[in-house]
């Protein structure tokens, strides 16, 4: 029987393609870098400025239409 570390070392985990699409969308439109993680069937988008978070909220319809229909949570960080 293989030990768990050997089994897990052979497994490759890929991030959902939506993460890269969200990052590219924000980078192209606002020239800002963001951090995106997956939390309970939702994307958690962390931005550094509250004005950017508000601007992204206005783009929700475009994001849902072109990128993903999952829930998006925007959080500002320091």
Tens of pLDDT, residues 8-53: 777 787 888 999 999 999 999 999 999 999 988 899 999 999 999 9
Number of separate domains in the chain = 1
In a domain, 2, yes or no: no
C-alpha 56/C-alpha 78 separation (Å) is: 18
pLDDT in tens, 60-74: 999 999 998 899 999
**In three state form, how does the secondary structure of 15-52 look?**
CCHHHHHHHHHHHHHHCCCCEEEEECCEEEEEECCHHH
Residue 31, token pair as written in the block: 């020239």
In a domain, 67, yes or no: yes
pTM of this prediction?
A: 0.78
Segments forming the whole domain that contains residue 55: 15-76
Residue 40's CATH number: 3.30.70.2210
C-alpha 30/C-alpha 41 separation (Å) is: 25
């Amino acid at each position: 029987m293989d030990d768990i570390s050997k089994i897990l070392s052979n497994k490759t985990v890929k991030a959902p393609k939506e993460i890269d699409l969200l990052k590219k969308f924000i980078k192209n439109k606002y020239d800002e870098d963001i951090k995106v993680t997956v939390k309970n069937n939702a994307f958690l988008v962390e931005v550094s400025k509250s004005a950017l978070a508000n601007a992204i909220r206005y783009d929700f319809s475009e994001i849902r239409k072109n990128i993903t229909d999952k829930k998006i949570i925007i959080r500002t960080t320091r």
